A and B are shown apart, each in its own frame.
Chain A
Amino acid sequence: MTWENYYMPSSIEEALSLLDKHQGEARLIAGGTDLMVQHKSEPIEAKALIDIGGIPDLKKIHEENGRVYVGAAATHSQVVSSPLLKEKGRVLVDAAKAVGALQIRNVGTIAGNVVTAQPAADTAIALVALDACVHIQSGSEKLEKPVLDTFLGPGKSSINPSKELITAFSYPTPTSLERTGFIRFARRDSLALPLVNLGFWLILKEDQKTVKEIRIAVGPMSTVPFRARETEASMKDVQISEEELEKAGLVIAEEVTPRDSFRGSADFKKYLIGVALKRAIKVVLDGKGVDWDD
């Protein structure tokens, strides 16, 4: 272990002042499910760890002034069991359900998932689909930016966890015409990184059938969570039907550029993402949820 101190602040202010005090030589830790794994292969250079898991304000999931807020240190399990999100953030709930296994979900957090910046991080994909806003504090400064802008490359985030604290993610409370969903395919049903995953948000026209606007986030299709903007454009003003979904599946398969790996070939992933899109959006047709593990 390289660090000398392990802090457990109980408020955001305390956490910020600890970061301040250590002048960039401390490191935030939430569930530690990424940090401790990284530490084993490459020791973390930090004089102190600041554990934000005991800060109640960072764990809140609530609605305020027309926006849904999810605290940065909310665990995946918390997200899964939130009645608010079940109704107003289905994509996030289904993504959180997919993470690791129960033990991992009980401690792993959504901010950790975002800052680790893996191209197929499940809840990160969901937040990108929601075009969530990241609320950041550094010293007395408060900052907001779209979550997609925080991803710089594989494992590279614009957030500096030795200086900046994510406090929450937020997005506008969905109207009755909005739908979201998440799907993933993996080599086994638990404890596996996705072969492909996909989150979407869409808003329908008044007819309840035609896409007014859609956002599709997919992984691992690039060095960062990927927005399939061509596919999104192709689906605008389209009335959803089995045939149209087939078509959209082909568009997205063409749009993405995954890599070959021992987990699956690039062609296989391209093909699968098409199936994923089709199946995920079927939710809009039949009104039922997607059971990604089924």
Chain B
Amino acid sequence: MNYTNLGKDTPILDGLEKVTGRARFVPDLKVEGMLYGKVLRSPYPHARLLKIDTSKAERVSGVKGIITGNNVSQHRFGTMVPDWVILPRDKVRFHGDEIAAVAANSEEAAAEAASLIKVEYEELPAVYDPELAMAEDAPQLYEDKENNIAVTFNVHTGNVDDALAKADLVFEETYETNQVYQAHMEPMGALVVPGDYERLIMWLSTQVPSMSRLRYAEALEMCSEDLRIIKPHVGGGFGAKFEYKSHILAAVLTRKTGLPVRMVNCREEDFRAGNPRVPMKIWVKLGLKKDGTLLAKDTKIIAGNGARTVYAPAITSTACYRIDSLYKFQNVRSTGYTVYTNTIPTSCFRGFGNAQMHFAMESALDTICHQNNLDPIEIRKLNGVTPGFTSIHGWEINSCALKECLEKATQESDWYEKKKEADQKGPVKKGIGVAICNHVSGNRPFYKPFDGSSSLVRLTPEGKAIVFTGEADIGQGMNTTFALIAAEAVGLNVKDVRTAAVDTDISPFGLGSFATRGTTIGGRAVYEAAINLKKQLIEHVARVYEKQAEEIKINNGKIYFAGNEEPLPVAEAMQQISYTLGGTSLVGHGVFVPNTVLPDENKYGNVSPAYPFACHIAEVEVDTETGKIRLLNYWAVHDVGRVLNKQTLEGQIEGGVMMGAGWVLGEDMVLKDGALVNPNFHDYCLPTAMDIPRGKIYSYFMESDDPNGPFGAKGIGEPSLNPVPAAIANAVFDAVGVRITDLPITPEKILAGLDI
């Protein structure tokens, strides 16, 4: 297939604005009379609120409004569990929990006033470890949540006990994944402006504009139509930027003061009260035949919800069962507990629980292969799902190039040669490790009411197209991808297409950027809208130029007729068409409703229209004297369905690999008595440019042409990270024979493993 716009390196369309500093993000926005919001946060992990005295704070010059639990509604609402209130009256549940919010005409006045709010607390016993929190005598966070369990997930398909009894090999191990921070460049924030008709205009740094609107309407007890959400440029989200308490607080302050309020986290707040990764303890039991055929998988997961529910239960369930559709399992059982603790509420983070489980599963397979002399590549080929396969949970695998990914990665990395390498001299040892992954491109159960997306594509009299979507570009380049899809589908040049910023007054509803769904579901809706537009355009060209519709072709911004007739620029045709139609633009409307279903009580049902796959191979060097691990080379081969834009795919892969490497090699949110010890970029060590592989991160793409994705494309965002922790852990094991089962893999753990 020859494409005009696809498969090339297209720089993101807003790249120039961003690198020149012209792009405006929420913290850059300023409006007349704007106030600055500041949150007062709890200095205790668990405490009863006895008294809140704001009298001194109110006297600070410039203060326009203060809200506390005593003067806001106490109705409960929430994302998955109604355990949120706007501000609590009874108690605070984590170090960083919101107690009050101030709006003042300067940041300094707001900060000063917040510091002058006098709060009397009665400290309560706290619990930080999810496993300990489930104990009978553990401190209770919510009266109605026994054993601090927010949600329990169960699935059992086939007969696990039988299968384990019959297995030649049974392997059992416990893995732990730690809490890490998304480290988006732009901290979370909102600007709320009072609008006409008593409406509120909310400029949000969010990845879910439409869903936030519904939730905030609930929180503010307003009709969602009275909230107008605008999403300007967003400086990264990685799962953190879903519904957020401070956005609501800014809105309440705006309503109270009648003035615009901008509330932006400082970096420390973003660390202390963002939505970090769900930490998990994962028990895995696997049964296999001698040849490596997987017979059964039994898992139990205890996951940290933090002090209130954001999306951890969905993340836990994903960890429990998504990987069951990577391999051809016949018997699986999983129980997942999402447990409250007096810690930062946890939520989505690239990989969404599937990443945590991949660390466990792909590490386990590596150990099984090592112990039983099985080939780690072959065992994955033997068990991996194949095109047309329906998984144990009813997931319909259409396109699947998993086998090809394994082959390509093995070949490019020179895997078998490197595996052969004999004993190495000197203190520094090399090793190589493999891991594969699956993921979704959309997740039906995430938003219960429906699945799908819609879009409008408007072709103006100037021949330029504007894509309207509710799906959010948060820096990953979605807007460029949508423009590419529309351009290709209509026959335009991408330079004549742009994607409008999400504005709920104009844009269609879009569930948002999560579950690696943007390209596949959002993009497919854009494709449908573009096809619809193209049909209209052809009809009007036929009418105005007196041609047969069938003989009209559109490509690269030009309209071609049969025979040798000069092609007509779309801009010229559109002008003539608009003159005959009262100056109108043409608007294509597209809807995509995927063939997914809400899983039934046995968790059976196809949840995604397409499933991306990948194989990663990591090559590392481990210094046996210092425990230091260095990345040498990394091969990431992804089944992306179709390459729409090479540059953004490579960007996602390099970003995903380094994000995963940061997690596995040292990032860690360290708590002491419930307080975060390292809430800054100095002490929380993200990898820098100096820590990237000494060699290279090699990206390769397999085009499996998915029947549901636009032009066959599937998502990339999360699969780029899923296999990373295990690939690196397996490479470390290969290098020095030390198996680390709890993240992060630190030099100290390596040395302990080496008995030093």
Chain B residues near A101 (CB-CB < 8 A): 688
In the assembled complex, the CB of B118 is this many whole angstroms from the nearest CB of chain A, namely: 23
A81 interface hit (Cβ, 8 Å): no
Q: Is B690 an interface residue (CB 8 A)?
A: yes
Chain A nearest CB from B626 CB (Å) reads 6
Of the candidate stretches B40-48, B67-75, B246-254, B677-685, the one touching chain A is B677-685
B690 touches A189 (CB 8 A): yes
- Inside 8 A of B751's CB, which chain A residues have their CB? 268, 271
CA distance A288 to B171 in the complex (A): 49
User: Could you give 12 example pairs across A and B, Cβ below 8 Å?
Assistant: A101-B688, A187-B666, A188-B666, A188-B688, A188-B691, A189-B688, A189-B691, A190-B691, A191-B682, A193-B682, A265-B748, A268-B751
Report A-chain residues with C-beta under 8 Å of the C-beta of B626: 185, 272, 275
Q: CA separation between A265 and B670, bound complex, in Å?
A: 14
Closest residue to A278 on the B side, CB-wise? B625
Residue of B nearest to A191 (CB): B688
Closest to B688 in A: A190
- Contact pick for A262, options B677, B682, B747, CB 8 Å: B677
In the bound complex, do residue B756 and residue A188 qualify as a contact, i.e. CB atoms below 8 Å apart? no
Interface residues of A in 100-157 (CB under 8 A from B): 101
For window 239-294 of A, CB contacts with B under 8 Å fall at 262-265, 268, 271-272, 275, 279, 293
- Asked if B687 is at the interface (CB within 8 A of a chain A CB), the reply is yes
Chain B residues lying within 8 Å of A36, measured Cβ to Cβ, are none
Give a binary string over B681-715; 1 marks a CB under 8 Å from any A CB, 0 the rest: 01101111111000000000000000000000000
List residues 647-691 of chain B with CB under 8 A from any CB of chain A. 666, 670, 672, 677-678, 682-683, 685-691
* A286 vs chain B, min Cβ distance (A): 13
CB distance from A89 to the nearest CB of B (A): 24
- Find chain B residues with CB under 8 A from A263 CB: 683
Interface of A is mostly: loop
In the complex the two chains form, what is the Cα distance from A271 to B678 in whole Å? Answer: 24
The count of chain A contact residues (Cβ–Cβ below 8 Å) is 19
* Shortest distance between the CB of B754 and any CB in chain A (Å): 11
A167-B690 Cα distance, complex, nearest whole Å: 34
- The verdict on B628 contacting chain A, using a C-beta distance below 8 Å, is yes
Point out the residues of chain A lying under 8 angstroms from B748, CB to CB: 264-265, 268
Q: Is the CB of B670 within 8 A of A262?
A: yes
Q: How far is the CB of B751 from chain A (nearest CB, A)?
A: 7
A192 part of interface (Cβ distance < 8 Å): yes
* CB-contacts of A178-205 with B (<8 A): 185, 187-193
A47 CA to B690 CA, complexed, in Å: 40
Closest residue to B628 on the A side, CB-wise?
A185
Q: Which residues of B contact A188 (CB under 8 A)?
A: 666, 685-688, 690-691
Nearest to B671 among chain A residues (CB) is: A262
Q: What chain A residues lie within 8 Å of B691 (beta carbons)?
A: 188-190
CA distance A271 to B687 in the complex (A): 24
Q: Which residues of B contact A191 (CB under 8 A)?
A: 682, 688
Which 4 A-B pairs give the minimum distances between C-beta atoms? A189-B690, A190-B690, A262-B670, A187-B685
In the complex, which range does the number of interface residues on chain B fall in? Answer: 20 to 34
Residues of A near B666 (CB, < 8 A) are 187-188
A162 to B686 CA separation, bound complex (whole angstroms): 37
Question: Which residues of B are interface residues toward A (Cβ below 8 A)?
Answer: 625-626, 628, 666, 670, 672, 677-678, 682-683, 685-691, 747-748, 751, 756
- The answer to whether B685 touches A192 (Cβ under 8 A) is yes
Write out the residue numbers on chain A whose beta carbons fall within 8 Å of the beta carbon of B628: 185
Alpha-carbon gap, A279 to B628, bound state (A) = 14
A268 contacts which chain B residues (CB < 8 A)? 747-748, 751
Provide the residues of chain A in CB contact with B677, threshold 8 Å: 262
Given A188-B688, A264-B748, 12 additional A-B pairs, CB 8 A: A187-B666, A188-B687, A188-B691, A189-B688, A189-B690, A193-B682, A262-B670, A262-B677, A268-B747, A271-B751, A279-B625, A293-B690
- State the Cβ distance, A70 to closest chain B Cβ, in Å: 26
User: A100 to chain B: closest CB distance in Å?
Assistant: 10
Q: Closest approach, in angstroms, between the C-beta of A253 and any C-beta of chain B?
A: 12
Contact check, B690 vs A262: say whether CB atoms are below 8 A apart. Answer: no
A262 near B687: Cβ-Cβ < 8 Å: no
CB neighbours (8 Å) of A265 from chain B are: 748
Q: Which A residue sits closest to B756, measured CB to CB?
A: A271
User: Which residues from B are CB-within-8-Å of A185?
Assistant: 626, 628
Q: Which residues of A contact B690 (CB under 8 A)?
A: 188-190, 293
B residues near A271, Cβ cutoff 8 Å: 751, 756
Per-residue 0/1 for A23-52: is the Cβ within 8 Å of any B Cβ (1 yes, 0 no)? 000000000000000000000000000000
Q: Are the C-beta atoms of B689 and A190 separated by less than 8 Å?
A: yes
Q: For residue B687, which residues in chain A have a CB less than 8 angstroms away from its CB?
A: 188
Set of chain B residues within 8 Å of A192, measured between Cβ atoms: 685
Kindly identify, within residues 181 to 237 of chain A, every residue whose CB is under 8 Å from any CB belonging to chain B: 185, 187-193
**How far is A101 from B688 in the complex, measured between Cα atoms in Å?**
10
- Are B688 and A275 interface neighbours, CB within 8 A? no
CA distance A84 to B682 in the complex (A): 33
Check A262–B678 contact: CB distance below 8 A.
Answer: yes
- A290 vs chain B, min Cβ distance (A): 13
Best-buried of B672, B678, B747 by chain A (most CB within 10 Å) = B747
Cα(A264)–Cα(B747), bound, Å? 9
Write out the residue numbers on chain A whose beta carbons fall within 8 Å of the beta carbon of B672: 262
Within the complex, the shortest CB–CB distance from B233 to chain A, in Å, comes to: 25
Residues of A within 8 A of B678 (CB): 262
Minimum CB–CB distance from B343 to chain A (whole Å) comes to 16
For B682, what are the chain A residues with a Cβ–Cβ distance below 8 Å?
191, 193
CA distance A192 to B670 in the complex (A): 17
Q: How far is the CB of A34 from chain B (nearest CB, A)?
A: 13
Known: A262-B670, A262-B683, A264-B748. A275 touches B625 (CB 8 A): yes
How far, in angstroms, from A74 to B716 measured CA to CA in the complex?
Answer: 48
Residues of A within 8 A of B689 (CB): 190
B625: chain A residues within 8 A (beta carbon): 275, 279
- The smallest beta-carbon distance between A62 and chain B, in angstroms, is 32
Complex Cα distance, B748 from A265, in Å, reads 8
List the A side residues contacting B756 at CB < 8 Å. Answer: 271
